[in-house]
Chains A and B, each alone.
Chain A
Amino acid sequence: MQEPNPESSPATEIRELSRLANASGPDDARAFATVAGRFLAWLERHGDPSLQALRPPLVQALKESDNGEASAPGHALLMQALARSSESLACIQPSETEAPPSPTPTQASLKETAPLPFKIAPDDLPLFQDFLLEGDEHLQSIETNLLSLTQGEAWDVMAVFRPFHTLKGIFGFMNLKALTDLAHAAEALLEPHKSGKSRPTPEQVNLLLKAADLIRAQTRKIGEGIANSAFDVLPTGELQAELRKTLGPAKEGPRFEPLVSVPASILEPVSPELEHGSEPAKTHGGTGSESMVKVRTDKLDKLIDMVGELVISQSMVSQDPSLSDGKQYGLQRKVGQVSKILRELQSLSMGMRMVPMKPLFQRMARVVHDVSAKTGKEVVLQTAGEETEIDRTMVDSLATPLIHLLRNAIDHGLETPAERAATGKKSTGTVSLKALHSDSDVIIEVADDGKGLNLKKILAKAQEKGIVGPAEKLRESEIVDLIFKPGFSTADQVTDVSGRGVGMDAVRQSIEAMKGRVEVRSVEGKGCVFTLRLPLTLAITDGILMRVGSERYVMPTANIHITLKGEPDTVFTVAGSGEMVRFKGEMIPIFRLHRLFAVKGAKESLVEGLLVVVGDGHQRCALLVDELLGQQQVVTKSLGDGIGKIGGVAGGAILGDGRVGLILDPQGISSLARANQTQELQAVGA
């Protein structure tokens, strides 16, 4: 175990304590308790004699804050002790307060090039675990506020300063010297702006973002290594040096001032600066004041599952003929009461899966910032509806497509400032990210006011690549659709075609995997809007229940293009075996579901049954079914490990009558049917 590092951390901690003790907000009290607890734990382990005097008043203060009562004498005692301690600390480490902080480590860390291994002492383990839980919150606050600064919005210097400060304290206790120094350097950079009169330069903001990134990377390293109680410490020397450099030598002085001035600020508890600082803490901590409970997700899923079952069982009870014969009024009323409660319970349990999109949007703000810096285009990001809630399992899968769309919008959609000026637009481009609820869908819009899609170029490129025949006439919407074609986007040349091609098929795929749809609207010269339409939750699939013989299957509504009734003049046989239906000039192969799935007693005639057109591109096919039974929302479940994956079946669902219905997977069915046909043809050939 390494020696504790009392130079900076106890001093910072004491400063933080005295600040928090003076602040009056409810969140400050909680923060005070946290810091005080941490400090006490530290004191216990490293018995620094000069600081032991702090213990009794701290313990007393903690007890009081636990009980929700603060006594004036106890408070005064604490203040005195804090003041004394920081004075004595200043005496013990004069180098800390007089010379620039830790010049030696700076030089030392400058030499660091490779990550250093670090061992977590068993005693310190909880400290690291806590950090993993809360560290991200601080980083998020730093990022959000720095980004609002770059957008020219009102920003709160304390909301950046304080997290850096807290992180510095935590790193101090964790004995991560390199990180402590980095946080300190960041803090020092912000120090001159604390008055709110000046703002950091864009270059400085970038450096601060980099610092946040480095700390996040370190957090990940700790997360990976915590199981083995060892991880690598990332080198921070270079970034520290850069941070210092931007400050300039003239400003070196004031950043150590607070350390010396701690006693003074304690003597006059209502220091205007501190008061100013404590205000944002309240507004920012506002969301935190709702108390939270962490629950394992598998428990939550199980709960939601069981509620779903309850709903089905209840509907079976309420539909029981002995109840609906009109004689059991009392019982009917009671059952009605139960179903009311159940409905509420169900919406509640569904709500538990939902999380607001705010963190996702914040990540996107960062992407926009980075891309605009890289491309040299001036971009303003407008966001709306970040409180819109979405299934938590979808948040992660949404990040990649959104990053793609935003990157495309800036890189290819927006023009350079010069081009914009030439066309009479504002030199700063606007990209907007909007989320809203509509019926049972979540709609996410990524829009830019750039040049829009260049349809001519897209068409030319598609013809060149052989995706479209040279003589083919396409409607506008069909041309726009070309950007989603796999292969359209494969390589570098796409950038010439107004962009938009890079990985658009990947975007569509990942959205469709979430049972969603992508739509594009583009006006040349005005801009482009991508609309993602997603179901509220992945847990529930909108499906159409259909009958084939004695079996019922569920087809996800999102997969169905249209259902047709076959007419004698629209269905054909090709080469004696393959069957096709003609729809709007397109020849679609017909697959008989009952044959594929060996179901007996189904309708054999193509004209009598219904044709359900599913799938996209070359996977498109029409499935012959007997009839549609209606719409149903279902919860997709696995068929169990005992069976595993089955081609053409996406899973099972418990239907309204309690029986299991299979959910179809159109892609699987299509490839299955094609494989079967090939086999048959081979058999015929042999």
Chain B
Amino acid sequence: MTTESLEHSGLHTSADARAGKYLTFFLNTEEYGLGILKVQEIIGRQPITPVPRTPSYIRGVINLRGRIIPIMDLKRKFDMGDTTLTEESCIIVTQTVGVMMGVLVDKVSEVLNINGQDIEDTPSFGTAVDTAFLLGVGKTGDRVKLLLDIDRTVTGETLNDLKKAAGQI
């Protein structure tokens, strides 16, 4: 009883910040969630101009109504292979910590509300799987949504990789 209530309260506090609306999308068959407040808009696929000397997961740049924004291929970033562009491919334009970044995904699914008690911490898979980019795992119905930490995905290592690719480190 005591352990259960402890667990419950612990879950409650840590999950609170993560609860909220998520835009869900697919990479291959896995379903991911992206905090809706980080999403600026969703656009269809566009011709992408490759930019040399950037990490492979930066597909290039696009013209978003006169503004140039970089496009990140999430599957390449997570070592899940290449994204083949199809009719369903989408670019989710995210705005985090002042950086605008388009995220290329296979398919956008829906916006749903995930309650605090439905969010669990990411289980550890050992060293084989990098879970640093996940906020946690959301359970709705019978499916599992991997909640993406977009700040870390876009800024953290990416910026370092970019500098490395540009030969600055």
Contact = CB atoms under 8 A, between A and B. Distances in A.
Contacts of B163: 644
Given A639-B51, A647-B53, A647-B167, A309 B66 contact: yes
Interface stretch (A29-37, A524-532, A561-569, A658-666): A658-666
Contacts of B100: 640-642
Nearest to A676: B167
Given A598-B52, A652-B61, A644 B162 contact: yes
Contacts of B51: 639, 643, 646, 649, 662
B70 A642 contact: yes
A352 interface: no
B146 interface: no
A434 to B, nearest CB: 37
Interface string B91-103: 0000000111100
A642 B101 contact: yes
Given A645-B166, A652-B61, A597 B49 contact: no
Contact of A644 (B65, B154, B159): B159
Contacts of B99: 640-642
Interface of A: 305-306, 308-309, 551, 596-599, 637-649, 652, 654, 658-662, 672, 675
Contacts of B105: none
B81 interface: no
B63 A640 contact: no
Contacts of B67: 637, 640
A638 B49 contact: no
Contacts of A644: 159, 162-163, 166
Contact of A309 (B52, B65, B69, B72): B65
Contacts of A662: 49, 51-52
Interface residues of B, number: 30
Contact of B47 (A305, A308, A597, A659): A659
Contacts of B63: 654, 658-660
A307 B98 CA distance: 25
A662 B100 CA distance: 18
Contacts of A309: 65-66
Given A598-B52, A644-B159, A639 B66 contact: no
Contacts of A645: 166
Nearest to A657: B47
A308 B67 CA distance: 11
B52 A648 contact: yes
Nearest to B98: A641
A652 B49 contact: yes
A638 B68 CA distance: 7
Contact of B68 (A308, A551, A652): A652
Given A643-B61, A662-B52, 9 more contacts: A551-B49, A639-B70, A640-B61, A642-B70, A643-B58, A643-B162, A646-B51, A652-B68, A672-B53
Nearest to A641: B99
A640 B49 CA distance: 14
A364 B66 CA distance: 38
Contacts of B83: none
A639 B52 contact: no
A639 B69 CA distance: 6
Given A638-B68, A639-B68, A648 B49 contact: no
B98 A660 contact: no
A652 B63 CA distance: 10
Contact of A646 (B47, B53, B154): B53
Contact of B53 (A551, A641, A648): A648
B104 to A, nearest CB: 13
Contacts, number: 86
Contact of B54 (A306, A638, A643): A643
Contacts of B69: 640, 642
A597 B51 CA distance: 8
Nearest to A594: B52
A308 B58 CA distance: 27
Nearest to A309: B66
B62 interface: yes
B20 interface: no
A661 B166 contact: no
B66 A640 contact: no
Contacts of A596: 52
A658 B48 CA distance: 11
| 6 A-B pairs with least C-beta separation | A597-B52, A309-B66, A660-B49, A642-B70, A642-B101, A652-B68
A15 to B, nearest CB: 54
A645 B99 CA distance: 14
B156 interface: no
A646 B52 CA distance: 8
Contacts of A642: 69-70, 72, 99-101, 154, 158
Contacts of A646: 51-54, 166
Interface string B38-65: 0000000001011111100010111101
B52 A661 contact: no
Interface in B110-138: none
A248 B54 CA distance: 74
Contacts of A672: 53, 167
Given A309-B65, A641-B100, A597 B53 contact: yes
Contacts of B166: 644-647
Nearest to A307: B66
A647 B47 CA distance: 23
A305 B52 contact: no
A652 B101 CA distance: 16
B77 to A, nearest CB: 13
Interface string B133-169: 0000000000000000000001000110011001100
Contacts of B61: 639-640, 643, 652, 660
A659 B68 CA distance: 10
Nearest to B101: A642
B143 to A, nearest CB: 30
A106 B101 CA distance: 63
A652 B54 CA distance: 15
A559 B118 CA distance: 59
28 contacts: A551-B50, A598-B52, A637-B67, A637-B68, A639-B51, A640-B61, A640-B99, A640-B100, A642-B99, A642-B101, A642-B158, A643-B51, A643-B54, A643-B61, A644-B159, A644-B162, A646-B51, A649-B51, A652-B68, A654-B63, A654-B66, A654-B68, A659-B63, A660-B61, A660-B68, A662-B49, A672-B53, A672-B167
- Which of A641, A658, A659: most chain B CB closer than 10 A? A641
- Which of B69, B100, B158: most chain A CB closer than 10 A? B69
Interface in B65-95: 65-70, 72
B169 to A, nearest CB: 13
Contacts of B62: 660
A306 B65 CA distance: 8
A646 B168 CA distance: 9
A661 B48 CA distance: 10
A641 B62 CA distance: 14
A142 B91 CA distance: 59
A394 B24 CA distance: 47
A209 B167 CA distance: 52
Contacts of B70: 639-640, 642-643
Nearest to B61: A660
B20 to A, nearest CB: 24
Contacts of A643: 51, 54, 58, 61, 70, 162
Nearest to A660: B49
Nearest to B47: A659
Nearest to A552: B49
A675 B49 contact: no
